Structure 1
């Protein structure tokens, strides 16, 4: 039997960059959706009965949900789905007094991004602040959203993205 669950952080992602939609493999599209959004929904479903007043769910989306990415068609679609899921889930969780929000980072330097895109590619897509964020710079947004300082915030997406302009 589970004990108390106060916080759920949904943070999973897989991507298979392709230069053309014609090269997308059905298996990779399914893996991307299973990892990035279906798994998130199923995990939230499992945790939801345990949530109570003041508890918090925070999901990780991406700036590509708003801007797109020519090599990440299916990945971008899942990140857009996370935004919609967050806003819809916030409406459902209000009856419990629980908050549901998301964080939408722009480019972040991680082992994954360096392996897939390399340094040269990252410099082309850098945000206005002209550098990618570190993971330490992003984590504070999650900590804020699960703290009492965000008691009046639900159904929202924070954008620590180095100054990229997003609509949404």
Structure 2
């Protein structure tokens, strides 16, 4: 994936590791110059909790404009829709070398950046550079929620800077 443009309302730019897959994989993906308008999610990486060891690495999102996008930046290592996962089984999918660069625009949700990594296998080498997202609603200021990650932060406003709880 080198270039995607003109995502339509409701679409998402998504990289997903699904539970049934048990083989290791390495992505060398760069998503560049993608305008997103009124989508449910912006750029997103999600993996299901799984007992199978695997990796997802070298994933880069660059030069993306968000226009009233819900959940603009999401990295979710313990994705579990509709409570159909075994929560006692931790994720064994290693996520590393991920970057979010020059992402700007507006978020329709107060939480513009969410990076949720597994406690037993924290994300490594996550980089956030030149992130400028404003909240377009009235439910408070723009924020970030992060766990089990210590990203490298460059030119990112404090509310989006992903100060972690772990």
Structure (1 or 2) with the larger CA radius of gyration: 1
Higher relative contact order (CA 8 A, sep 6+): 1
- Smaller-chain TM-score bracket: 0.3 to 0.5
TM-score (norm 1): 0.34
TM-score (norm 2): 0.34
Decide which structure has greater strand share: 2
